Chain A
Amino acid sequence: MSLVSSLIPAFASATARSESTPTARPAEPAVAPRHEITETPDAYALLVELPGVARDGLELTVDHERIRVVGRRAWRKPEAWKALHRESREAGFELALDHGRAVDADKIRAELRDGVLRVALPKAEALKPRKIAVA
């Protein structure tokens, strides 16, 4: 099994949420953003497209099992503007990935620029390839 498959979308999150809250629908509708995961021997890199999300509308939480990205759009349509044609959504973004302790949560670095979030997720020491000297 490739290690990259240890970063898998947390499908369970929707069910978990609907169980914990009595209302079937979440308060704020959210869509899964486009994202990409790449792997190097030492780390995973996560790239998430979050157009319209500013730094203060972004929440990145990492616990020992899950990475969660929640982004709210900073822009609201001014009252006087009339929409003639819409292709984008107003809904925010939500992405949950299970890393199954594959990531060293203390060393994560993240940067949001021009609507793209880049997260460097160094692998947990136990997962890094080790060269064993053979005597």
Chain B
Amino acid sequence: MRLIHYTTPHGRTYSPVFARSPWAGLEQQMDRLFGAALGESVAAPVAGFPVDLYEDAAATYVRAELPGVNRADIGVELADGTLQISAKRVRKVGDIEETAALSRALTVPEGAVQSDKISAAYENGVLTVTLPKREEARPRKISVTVA
């Protein structure tokens, strides 16, 4: 099951990994139906927290909404072609502390990212992970002089 129907010109794909909910497929179907009925293009979050994916010529960007999380409790990991964003949210209910673990995973195309140059920033409760593209993955502009 893939949520992101996106293919790079190189045939590589980014797609979130679904293993969490047995209803993920159904939920997606429902969301698609409702989304179509309401004329919305925004997909519903499936597990954990909403994630947006952007790209420009130089990099791919992942933006995750994680309000009220300590920077130290955010983990960004790239291993075996999977980018895992995990966070711990601590809520105080009276004297009891509740900890919720949140996580999302995205598959990153093998060899498309300069994995040693990945950076992340957390601002206003939104995490932005920047995945710089490898030189060969960047679109190249070639000017041809016509004689």
Could you tell me which A residues sit within 8 Å of B by CB distance? Answer: 38, 49-54, 74-75, 77-78, 80-89, 113-116
Cβ of A74 and Cβ of B51 under 8 Å apart? Answer: no
Known: A81-B61, A87-B44. A114 touches B56 (CB 8 A): no
B125 A52 Cβ-Cβ under 8 A = yes
A85 touches B68 (CB 8 A): no
Q: Is the interface of B mostly helix, strand, loop or mixed?
A: loop
- Is the pair A84, B14 in contact by a Cβ cutoff of 8 Å? yes
B50 neighbours in A (Cβ, 8 Å) = 87-88
Are B65 and A114 in touch, CB under 8 angstroms? no
CB atoms of A85 and B53 under 8 A apart: yes
Of A51, A75, A77, A80, which contacts B57 at CB under 8 A? A80
Interface size class of B (residues with CB under 8 A): 20 to 34
Query: Cβ of A53: which chain B residues have Cβ within 8 Å of it?
Result: 124-125
User: Can you give 29 A-B contacts (C-beta < 8 A)?
Assistant: A51-B66, A51-B125, A51-B126, A52-B125, A52-B126, A53-B125, A75-B126, A78-B56, A80-B56, A81-B54, A84-B14, A84-B60, A85-B6, A85-B14, A85-B43, A86-B43, A86-B53, A87-B43, A87-B45, A88-B42, A88-B50, A88-B51, A88-B63, A113-B68, A114-B122, A114-B124, A115-B66, A115-B67, A115-B126
Beyond A85-B6, A114-B122, list 18 extra A-B contacts (CB 8 Å): A49-B68, A50-B125, A51-B124, A51-B125, A52-B65, A75-B124, A78-B56, A81-B56, A83-B54, A84-B4, A84-B55, A85-B14, A87-B44, A87-B50, A88-B51, A88-B63, A114-B68, A114-B124
What chain A residues lie within 8 Å of B41 (beta carbons)? 86
Among A51, A87, A89, max chain B CB count under 10 A is at: A87
**What per-residue 1/0 map shows which CB atoms of B35-79 lie under 8 Å from chain A?**
000000111110000111111110011010111110000000000
Interface residues, chain B, with chain A CB atoms under 8 Å away: 3-4, 6, 14, 41-45, 50-57, 60-61, 63, 65-69, 93, 122, 124-126
- Evaluate contact between A115 and B124: CB separation under 8 angstroms: yes
Q: How far is the CA of A85 from the CA of B61 in the complex (A)?
A: 11
Shortest B60–chain A CB gap in Å is: 8
Chain A residue with the shortest CB-CB distance to B122: A114
| B134 CB, min distance to chain A CBs, angstroms | 17
A115 & B68 in contact (Cβ 8 Å cutoff): yes
Complex Cα distance, B69 from A85, in Å, reads 23
Partner of A82, one of B56, B63, B65: B56
Cα(A84)–Cα(B14), bound, Å: 9
